[in-house]
Structure 1
């Protein structure tokens, strides 16, 4: 028997895991003062870029001696710049437990073709054994697995006296989870995640140890212009002082500034983390009373509070083959999309079939509370359709 559709839809049905929902109250008027039509190298243009860098340091609580730069090609560009410029000085441990970590493994082993590479992996829903990591080597890892909903619980597993560098893809963790900068030498993210900003730009943060590596190690491979962070053996400091490698969008700069000023107005980093934690709690409370769904992340201590991933575990669905389970999840997602109750909540294309709901800092908890009855309704409708087709 079909359920009655809930009476109230989420006021904002945007639950995509990137680009993510804009901060509450955002309108296009927030960009009214963007320096469109002006050079990014003009004095006011550089001032707005510097404002974005300064706000990043303040809101994310980046140490004063770490460098912050805005770089091309989103988080992917920032990670690639770090790997192509720094790796090869010593062996590297690559951690992977979801698709983006797997992508970095592919780039290091098949594109950079480094010889001394150890790959430490875990299946979707789990973390690899962090005790296997050798900090005499460089380490590349994602803080939060965007496509698996699994994050490292903290930075305690990282050696304070490490010899190698830690290169951390923090794109769906920054601003919503506590990053331990003392344990991180390279941190990357994009505005499109926890800030609800626009795509195409990345942020690259370097510790003094990372700068020392750049200035002391010259990789034996060609580097495209957009990857080059040094000149004549010295860091190109201007990159971290508002002179970007290539032309940024001043609309995107203004949007990032707006998002970070909103974050500070909420109470800063702890308040943004608290918003994401509260959002996760709404979903956790729903899972606890809902028999047809479970978290993809097995261990509560490693569950993401931003990219929250779910498996559909009703016996009628798990009895289907993989293609049938994927089709069921896709139909559920499409039903919610069609009626405007939730957009873009399907699992990532390379992940196990299921749902993925963004719960980061720019989401209001009341929208998640309004969403969960619609999830139950859509599941019941699809289950009825499945049973009718089998009859």
Structure 2
């Protein structure tokens, strides 16, 4: 129920941004005391730190031994574009999008790389395209979790085990929170600043043996910027996947990522991370079920994200005002909550439908989400009363 009574309890941590997401519980700058500052990342000690980050990533995510892992510049965007620019074009492509970032990859494929035989399969915010229509004789490009729509793929069973093409998966808001079937994935990318709350500007690129074979055998017809070059002497540059980064990484950010990986292990590893995200999301899902003025932007509950929960206002009095007024109302909700110091950075993504977007990944404490929901009701009641008074 909505309430105009100001809640007494506040979230201890009001940071609910979907990226960069909040630091893990107990984090402090003391976690960075061991950072290798003022040293070369190519020195023995620097390379050992980078290699350690790769090894811990492999262990925590249970990445198969024959898959390769690299630290890339440019966050998830840099990692994913390096993969696209290095491998796309050898086969026709099916490119899927149901939110903002999937559409960015379509722009790369269609307008930048100009792949002639590319099928675009799109769906409106809140829905998935027809996964059954995907042709796995082609390369397939998709996001595992649509951060800006709150829609995730319901597992990986829809991907053909005997596929001829490669699967390219942008998993930046899914990794460490949702199961990954590595047998169905050839290229996977993510950034440190999403699910584990690391610092920005660094991404991870994970390649299957089939993806490695593609890089070795295929040379794209377009020039590659230095930051995208995964080959050396006509073959995969193996050193990149052993801790030799393409450009200079921040060793402060590396230390922060190592700290986040250590925290993840301390709470039970991957299963502990996924359990926390599921429990966090359930707080919002249960609140949605009992709240008449709001709904999940994702239509099918089987696709509801457990990290980026996107909300739309469904109150008929607000809907009757029109889309422009709906957008202003949602912005006022987010502004009011931030002004109260109870929820920061929860406005919908700029390209998404009007509403709110709340991060529920593992670094968030469930108690903070439980404290937040009464404030959401309060902010709605206050904002609606303000609109009624102005009418």
TM-score by length of 1: 0.99
Matching residue of 1:385:
386
SS at match of 1:157: coil
Residue by residue over 1:28-86, the C-alpha shift from the partner in whole angstroms, topping out at 9 and shown as x without a partner, is 11001101111101111111111111110011111111000000000000110010000
Matching residue of 2:167:
166
SS at match of 2:295: strand
* Kept in 2: contact 1:41–1:243 (CA 8 A): yes
- How far apart, in 2, do the equivalents of 1:60 and 1:145 lie? 20
SS at match of 1:334: helix
* Kept in 2: contact 1:2–1:384 (CA 8 A): no
- How far apart, in 2, do the equivalents of 1:203 and 1:232 lie? 23
- How far apart, in 1, do the equivalents of 2:376 and 2:39 lie? 46
- How far apart, in 1, do the equivalents of 2:85 and 2:264 lie? 33
* Kept in 2: contact 1:93–1:120 (CA 8 A): yes
Q: How far apart are 1:323 and its partner, in Å?
A: 1.1
Matching residue of 1:119:
120
Matching residue of 1:343:
344
Residue by residue over 1:249-292, the C-alpha shift from the partner in whole angstroms, topping out at 9 and shown as x without a partner, is 00100000000110011111011001000001100110111000
- How far apart, in 2, do the equivalents of 1:321 and 1:75 lie? 36
- The alignment covers a number of residue pairs equal to 390
SS at match of 1:53: helix
* Kept in 2: contact 1:71–1:78 (CA 8 A): yes
* Kept in 2: contact 1:144–1:150 (CA 8 A): yes
Matching residue of 1:85:
86
Residue by residue over 1:133-159, the C-alpha shift from the partner in whole angstroms, topping out at 9 and shown as x without a partner, is 000000000000000000001000000
SS at match of 1:16: coil
Q: How far apart are 1:213 and its partner, in Å?
A: 0.1
Residue by residue over 1:163-218, the C-alpha shift from the partner in whole angstroms, topping out at 9 and shown as x without a partner, is 00000000000000001111000000001110001110010000000000000000
SS at match of 2:204: strand
* Kept in 1: contact 2:343–2:372 (CA 8 A): yes
Task: State yes or no: 1:195 paired with 2:234.
Answer: no
* Kept in 2: contact 1:75–1:201 (CA 8 A): yes
Matching residue of 1:330:
331
* Kept in 1: contact 2:69–2:204 (CA 8 A): yes
Q: How far apart are 1:318 and its partner, in Å?
A: 0.6
After the TM superposition, which residues 261-280 of structure 1 pair with which residues of structure 2 at under 5 Å, given as runs?
Answer: 261-280=262-281
Q: Structure 1 residues 305, 2: CA separation in 2 closer, same or farther (over 3 Å shift)?
A: closer
SS at match of 1:283: helix
- How far apart, in 1, do the equivalents of 2:216 and 2:344 lie? 46
Matching residue of 1:67:
68
- How far apart, in 1, do the equivalents of 2:321 and 2:109 lie? 37
After the TM superposition, which residues 5-84 of structure 1 pair with which residues of structure 2 at under 5 Å, given as runs?
Answer: 5-84=6-85
Task: State yes or no: 1:208 paired with 2:209.
Answer: yes
- How far apart, in 2, do the equivalents of 1:230 and 1:117 lie? 25
Q: How far apart are 1:321 and its partner, in Å?
A: 1.6
TM-score by length of 2: 0.99
SS at match of 2:309: strand
- How far apart, in 1, do the equivalents of 2:342 and 2:89 lie? 48
* Kept in 1: contact 2:3–2:377 (CA 8 A): no
Q: How far apart are 1:2 and its partner, in Å?
A: 7.2
- How far apart, in 2, do the equivalents of 1:319 and 1:181 lie? 46
* Kept in 2: contact 1:93–1:134 (CA 8 A): yes
Matching residue of 1:154:
155
Matching residue of 1:94:
95
Runs of 4+ in 1 over 4 A off after TM superposition: none
After the TM superposition, which residues 299-378 of structure 1 pair with which residues of structure 2 at under 5 Å, given as runs?
Answer: 299-378=300-379
Q: Which runs of 5+ in 2 are unaligned?
A: none
Matching residue of 1:103:
104
Q: Which runs of 5+ in 1 are unaligned?
A: none
